[in-house]
């Protein structure tokens, strides 16, 4: 199967549209959470996701907060402002959809999925070899897909040494999958690896490959909507620079 894996959409509808078009026809779509937060289009993003066939979607920490299952005080000031706005504008049916999503890890075939990490599905960032090494004991599948950090990356556990090798993956360079790996498709709506293009990955279960992808979208258009909604200027600036 050819599976679209994406994460951290963050209410950026234009970026989501670009990813869906660029990915083309897929057998399934796996979303690792954070449909909302930061961006100007929470309803449009949730409605687009709801229409996707053969979808597996997790909750992220922003999703949990917007439906009232986590205090907004947990977030920094700018993130809290955006979530407060999203709380006000999300329709009841879109809120219900978010509430229906699982907030724990999910296993599909040879892959474990989590928003943050298998050890702490909502909050832990896997950014370095130390954190990655602590997480390999928390999943039994050959590989695990995570989001949350907004950085396309791979973490490989070397059996012979027990060391973890960290790499920032390269777009369009397919990785041959082998035990044991933690992989991040990056962020659709707010990349933080200095590449502002929307990020995602294609997982081929038969070829056992993972191909990171990037696609440009109309960033200026999204920045205009962020400003028009009165959301933090920081969120408009950062999507143009990828930080």
Domains of the chain: 2-241 (3.60.21.10)
> Mean pLDDT over residues 176-205, rounded?
98
Identify the sign of the CA torsion 102, 187, 131, 162: positive
pLDDT for the residue 160: 81
Rounded-to-integer distance, Cα 21 and Cα 33, Å: 20
CB atoms near residue 213 (< 10 Å): 21
Task: Give CB contacts under 8 A, 24+ apart, made by 157-162.
Answer: 157/132, 157/133, 157/181, 162/133
Exposed/middle/buried for residue 113 (C-beta within 10 Å: 0-12, 13-18, 19+): buried
- Least confident range from 54-58, 74-78, 182-186: namely 74-78
For the chain, the average pLDDT equals 97
Rounded-to-integer distance, Cα 164 and Cα 46, Å: 36
Per-residue DSSP letter, 115: S
Question: Percent of the chain having pLDDT more than 90?
Answer: 98
């Amino acid at each position: 199967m050819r599976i679209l894996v994406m994460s951290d959409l963050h209410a950026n509808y234009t970026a989501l549209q670009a990813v869906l078009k660029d990915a083309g026809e897929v057998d399934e779509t796996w979303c690792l959470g954070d449909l909302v937060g930061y961006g100007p289009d929470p309803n449009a993003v949730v409605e687009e996701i709801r229409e996707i066939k053969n979808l597996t979607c997790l909750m992220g920490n922003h999703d949990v907060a917007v439906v009232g299952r986590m205090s907004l005080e947990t977030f920094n000031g700018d993130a809290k402002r955006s979530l407060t706005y999203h709380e006000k504008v999300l329709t009841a049916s879109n809120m219900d959809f978010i509430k229906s999503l699982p907030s724990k890890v999910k296993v599909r075939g040879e892959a474990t999925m989590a928003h943050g990490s298998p050890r702490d599905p909502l909050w832990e960032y896997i950014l370095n070899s130390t954190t990655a090494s602590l997480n390999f004991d928390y999943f039994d599948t050959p590989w695990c897909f995570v989001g949350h950090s907004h950085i396309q990356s791979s973490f490989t556990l070397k059996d012979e040494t027990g060391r973890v090798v960290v790499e920032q993956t390269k777009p369009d360079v397919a990785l041959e999958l082998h035990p044991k790996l933690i992989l991040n498709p990056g962020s659709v709506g707010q990349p933080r690896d200095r590449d502002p293009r929307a990020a995602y990955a294609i997982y081929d279960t038969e070829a056992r490959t993972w191909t990171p992808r990037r696609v440009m979208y109309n960033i200026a258009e999204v920045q205009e909507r962020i400003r028009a909604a009165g959301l933090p200027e920081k969120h408009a600036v950062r999507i143009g620079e990828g930080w």
